């Protein structure tokens, strides 16, 4: 099993990117990329999504040392990233949990990528609708 640091370095080399080029793509400093690759630092959730996208791997692959498939759950990343941009870290966590829990519904069956995408889109739309309805009913969250 590879560590986060090894996965970042390997994926970057496979894409023939310099640390500076990857840093620009992810919108972080090249010092951050160096820290990721030497195991001294891990990115925040929002940066992790950009890093995975730039490296053309899944967030699951980067964040789970036991995962050795660079494309594992990659179809979920777009929906999780969208939830993060709209609802923050808790939205991303909620979406990840919803998608993971509902993916079990078709475990063992063969769904095409198009069918999986439609399923994930439906869950994302239902989540967004419930968040918007809650906003209308209860108003925006109050800052403490």
> Using CA atoms, how far apart are residues 107 and 69, in angstroms rounded to an integer?
17
CB 127 within 8 A of CB 76: no
The predicted structure's pLDDT at residue 142: 60
Instruction: Point out the least confidently predicted range of 21-25, 90-94, 109-113, 133-137.
Output: 109-113
- Choices 3.40.50.620, 1.10.260.40, 1.10.357.10, 3.40.50.1820: CATH for 4-63: 1.10.260.40
Q: Which two tokens stand for residue 130?
A: 């419930």
The domain spans of the chain are 4-63, 74-137
Tell me the pLDDT tens digit for each residue of 68-124.
Answer: 999 988 888 889 888 988 888 888 889 988 888 877 676 666 777 788 888 888 988
pTM of the model: 0.76
The predicted structure's pLDDT at residue 107: 66
Tell me the pLDDT tens digit for each residue of 2-13.
Answer: 999 999 999 999
Helical segments of the chain, H only: 4-14, 19-26, 30-37, 45-55, 59-63, 74-103, 113-138
Stretch 5-31: mean pLDDT: 97
Say which residue the tokens 């969208």 belong to. 82
The predicted structure's pLDDT at residue 68: 94
**Best CA proximity match to 9, nearest among 51, 50, 46, 45:** 51
CB 28 within 8 A of CB 41: no
Confidence of residue 141 (pLDDT cuts 50, 70, 90): low
Tell me the pLDDT tens digit for each residue of 30-40.
Answer: 999 999 999 99
């Amino acid at each position: 099993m590879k560590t986060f640091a090894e996965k970042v370095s390997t994926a970057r080399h496979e894409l023939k990117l310099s640390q500076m080029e990857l840093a620009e793509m992810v919108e972080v400093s090249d010092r951050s990329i160096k820290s990721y690759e030497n195991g001294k630092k891990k990115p925040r959730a929002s940066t992790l999504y950009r890093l995975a996208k730039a490296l053309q791997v899944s967030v699951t692959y980067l964040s789970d040392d036991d995962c050795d498939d660079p494309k594992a759950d990659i179809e979920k990343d777009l929906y999780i990233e969208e939830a993060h941009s709209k609802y923050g870290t808790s939205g991303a966590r909620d979406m990840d949990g919803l998608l993971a829990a509902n993916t079990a519904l078709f475990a063992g069956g063969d769904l095409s990528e198009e069918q999986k995408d439609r399923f994930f889109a439906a869950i994302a739309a239902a989540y967004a609708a419930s968040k918007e309805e809650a906003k209308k009913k209860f108003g925006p969250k109050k800052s403490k």
